[in-house]
Structure 1
Amino acid sequence: MSLKYTFLFTILVSAFTAFSQTTYPKITGYFGIMHPIVSFNREETTVNFRDYYAVGFPTGINIWKSEKIGFSFEIVPNIKDDQGTSKVTNLLFHPGVLIALGNGYTFAGRLAFETSGRYGVTPVFNKTIKKNASSSYYIAVPLPVRFGNDHPGTFTVGFQFGIAF
């Protein structure tokens, strides 16, 4: 191979490598559907799908500072259907830190501020289950802990799935 073809090949490989590398900060967005499964407090245990039907629609932006750590801001409108009457019951503001755990797993440690007057934290364990060129699908287990508004503290186990782009 002549020197000029070797040089041209080297330039093309370098250009391809530069385009395939991720630069930071990296911004991604996502949309999901979250079902609380069961909630516990000192007075009672309530189960979604049995006692009522509740669903949330987490929508957010992730700003990855590096391959390992990032910031996320999420807004979650929540809808509840109880005895045939449905309404938006709450809007959740959910900022947090993202920590990549490897192999498609991510931990999100979120603060929670609800328009219903409740507040708390939400640890979320997330797994990318399918990655495409321009999007990925994920599942997650959020574990909300809430206080305030003259109600006992609650712990909830939920299931979330969605698409990131």
Structure 2
Amino acid sequence: MISFRHIFAITLFCLSFNLFSQTTYPKITGYFGILHPIATFNSEQTSVNFRDYYAVGFPTGINIWKNQKIGFSFEVVPNIRVQGNSDKVTNLLFHPGVLVALGNGYTFAGRAAFESSGRYGITPVINKTILKSDNCSYFAAIPFPIRFGNDHPASFTVGFQFGIAF
């Protein structure tokens, strides 16, 4: 026979389990991805990746979520370019920014951009969580880098990124 003590103990257990399973903030996550710039446009030319060269970046970062809606992110992106028989790291990008959860697995990242090549600018990013498990999640993102400086014309790039967050 179930007594009041049993019901109380079961209720207390369920409530405590529910409290401990909730996410606490600030919440810190890390991630790693692969970035493919697709095309870059400026007043002098249009450059298309995969045609005359291959460029790839490896975004690695930490997100600190203040609450469910807003967070801060710091990302570092080494970029490699392969052209003909030559391959080299061409740039290191420092990419701090703000995160805004949009719902349904979408996140907006508004990033400042500081490149070791002397360029600077902003990068708006739309991110979508594709698969989520208890230990990690897989995501796809579309960054739109806008760059200035270093005696080059202003440029706009469209890219594709995918990765894993943990």
Q: TM-score, normalised by structure 1?
A: 0.99
1:51 Cα offset (Å): 1.9
Aligned twin of 2:121: 120
1:84 counterpart letter in structure 2: N
Aligned twin of 1:47: 48
Secondary structure of the residue aligned to 2:10 is helix
Secondary structure of the residue aligned to 1:51 is coil
CA distance in 2, matches of 1:161, 1:75: 15
CA distance in 1, matches of 2:154, 2:83: 21
Q: Within 5 A, what are the aligned runs for 1:12-51?
A: 12-51=13-52
2:13 counterpart letter in structure 1: L
Q: Within 5 A, what are the aligned runs for 1:7-156?
A: 7-156=8-157
2:10 counterpart letter in structure 1: F
CA distance in 2, matches of 1:38, 1:136: 27
Give the fraction of aligned pairs with identical amino acids, expressed as a percent. 72
Q: Which segments of 5 or more consecutive residues in structure 2 lack a partner in the other structure?
A: none
Alignment RMSD (CA, Å) = 0.5
Runs ≥4 residues deviating over 3 A = none
Deviations 1:93-114 (A, max 9, x none): 0000000000000000000000
1:160 Cα offset (Å): 0.1
1:21 Cα offset (Å): 0.6
Q: Which segments of 5 or more consecutive residues in structure 1 lack a partner in the other structure?
A: none
